[in-house]
Every structure is written in structure tokens, then in C-alpha cells.
Structure 1
């Protein structure tokens, strides 16, 4: 049975290949494809973001009111820009008597708020802690002032409802360094 099925599939594959229309690329088709590839690579090169210098980055941050300082990495001799961020600790709030439906709606609004903060460039990272402690999660705000971070954090629907409370601390990190 297996042999006959395999033979049938092989014949079907050969027959399908024979019935494909034969096309040959003309010299003009090849040249057009080559021109398109060159055009795409030129466009790609033109729209690549130009890397800013450390000086330009620092001037931009300073002009927006961010606190920064520089240090030179001993190993690489690179100048590192340290930027002040604000780490908001989301702590268990006093008002936790919402029913299951209210809690689900608050959670949905909470996640929408955090997504909006990220999309607008105000928050770089957010997430819950994996235990059931008093501190429920964090958000790192990429804004120039404590007042702004506090305002954004307290606009969270979970905070407004009293289910979460905010505690914010200034936090320094190397500008542009990714998490690993």
C-alpha cells in the first residue's frame, strides 16, 4: 500500500512539473531585476539612520531637560553617557475590594495605559514581579523630571482606583545600553 501511494505521488509530481509553462528570462528581464536591486540598495542606504555622536546625544538630552553625566569606560576608553530615568515601583494599594469583573477591567485599562506610555516614548520597560509581595511591578520612565514621571505613573487606572500605589526613585543607566 505504501509503495503504491509513493509511486502515485511520484508520478503526480513528474506530471505536474511537465505541465508547468516554460519561461525563459530575457536579457531585458535580467537587467530590470538588477536595476531594481541596485535601486533598492541605494534607497536602503539613503534611509539608514545616521548615528549620532556622543556629543550630539548629550546636547539633545540636555536641551530636553534630562540630567546626564559622562564617564569613560576603563576597558574600551569610550565615553558613556549616563542618563537619569525614574523607576516607579507599583505597590499593592489599600483598595483591593473590587470584584472579579472590575479587577479584569482595571487590568485591561492598566495594560492599555502602560502600552500607551511605551508607544509615546515615556516608558522604556514595564513588568510585574513574579512573587506575591507588596511590590507588584515596575515601570522605568524615560522623562526629564520626577514631577512628570509621578504624573504619568499616577494616571494609571489601577493607581487611580487605589488598587496600586506608586513609589518613584531616580535611577541612572547608560544611554542606549540594552537589557541582556
Structure 2
């Protein structure tokens, strides 16, 4: 009986360790680049173009409600560290805005972008592109 109990406990412990390993969060891809006496840590980000979607015939009030949810969602992504910068375009073109996602994979960036209420409502669609930048870069 003790052997059975010990075996069950060991199996449970091994399963917990394996589950913990599989739950590790993937890190974004990086590499270092030297230029003169400066070493840059380059990171792959994912640039998401938010483009006009097929469903843009909402009333003004409905569109404003969707926009409020869209902005709240982007704020939440920023607070969670999932985005690095976001902003709208300043013209009436097909691309309505850009979001730089700080994720390990394009699939994760796409999943997060598609969770945006404006995308779910069809006002926007997403186009995802990998993009390299020096980690911690700032706009000037």
C-alpha cells in the first residue's frame, strides 16, 4: 500500500512539474548588434495595421460606443505590457491605426488584436507584420 501511495504521489509531482514547464511564457525573439562602441539589443515586435473593416455602417452612437470599447481595450493591452505604442492614422486611408505588440509570436499578436472590440464588431480588420527595433526604443 505504501508503494502505491508513494507511486501516486511521485506521479502527481512529476505531472505538476511537467505542467509548470509547459506553462512557461514564451519570450520575444532578440539578438544583439554592435555598432561602434554601442551594443543594441534588437527585439522582434509585431506591427499590426488596423484597417477599415467590412462593417462600418453603424449609427454614430453605435460607432462611438465601439470606439470607447476599442480605446479601453488598447489601454488594457498597454497596462499589461502587451503593446509598446498605439495610434491612429491622420488621413482617411484604409489603414486606420497601428499597434506595436510586444509578444513572442505573430499568432499571439493576432489573437490579441482580434480580441479588440472594434475588430470583433467588423469595423476594423488586422494585418500583422514582424518588425525589429532596438529594445526599449523611444520616439523622438
State the TM-score, normalizing by the size of structure 1. 0.63
Higher RCO, 1 or 2 (CA under 8 Å, sep at least 6)?
Answer: 2
* Structure with higher helix content: 1
2:31 match: 69
2-side partners of 1:86 and 1:178: how far apart? 16
- How many residue pairs end up in the alignment? 116
Name the SS of the counterpart of 1:144 in structure 2. Answer: coil
1:165 match: 125
1:85 match: 45
Say yes or no: does 1:98 pair with 2:58. Answer: yes
1:174 match: 134
Say yes or no: does 1:128 pair with 2:88. Answer: yes
1:140 match: 100
Name the SS of the counterpart of 2:27 in structure 1. Answer: coil
When Rg is computed on C-alpha atoms for both structures, the one with the higher figure is 1
1:113 Cα deviation from its structure 2 partner: 0.3
2-side partners of 1:110 and 1:68: how far apart? 30
1:123 Cα deviation from its structure 2 partner: 0.5
Name the SS of the counterpart of 1:97 in structure 2. Answer: coil
Q: Is the 8 A contact 2:28 2:105 kept in 1?
A: yes
1:64 Cα deviation from its structure 2 partner: 3.8
2:116 match: 156
Q: Is the 8 A contact 2:41 2:135 kept in 1?
A: yes
State the TM-score, normalizing by the size of structure 2. 0.80
RMSD of equivalent CA atoms:
1.1
Unaligned runs of 5+ in 1: 1-62
Unaligned runs of 5+ in 2: 1-24
Say yes or no: does 1:111 pair with 2:87. Answer: no
1:4 match: none
1-side partners of 2:59 and 2:52: how far apart? 16
2-side partners of 1:137 and 1:151: how far apart? 17
